[in-house]
Amino acid sequence: MDTATLDNIAAEETAELAEQQGAEQAAAQAVQQQEQQDNAEGWRQAVRAAGDIVCSALPEAKPVWTGERMDNLGDALSRCDEMYGWGGAGSLFSHPLLGLAVAAFPLALGTLNTVKAVKAKAQEKGAPPAGLAQPVPPEHQAGDIALAEPLAA
């Protein structure tokens, strides 16, 4: 074989290799973009679920929790996930501490609303709230220790 033939074969091999590498690179980039889109969609769904919980507990918050705002928050969380390697919304939502927070939220909110209602009812009557501790008058205090005693319901 002469040198020109070998040069042609080498050029063809180089072109095929470059084409193959380009295709592999494009495929890897497409996979990465799809993973990023899936991750972002997972975070958007998670934020929408959180928005549903918040808005069901606080209907007044519905104007704040718009679809566009929730999607923006989901996208921001997705970028943070990529930066810090959280492992996606599913990974975070399977964490037991998040489950604890979700379970405790309605209890905390319900308790807060109950305390507010008791205080409001007592203020309407002009009396101190029933069931809440009140300072002990000085004449009933033992020495210099300030105690509190619950009021009778």
Task: Answer yes or no: are the C-beta atoms of 135 and 145 closer than 8 Å.
Answer: no
Note if the pTM is more than 0.85: no
Q: pLDDT value at position 124?
A: 86
Q: pLDDT value at position 135?
A: 74
Divide the 153 residues of the chain into consecutive groups of 10 and give the mean pLDDT of each group: 80 82 78 88 92 87 95 95 90 82 84 88 75 70 60 58
**How far apart are alpha carbons 138 and 153 in whole angstroms?**
22
Domain boundaries, the chain: 1-93, 95-153
78: closest CA among 28, 26, 35?
35
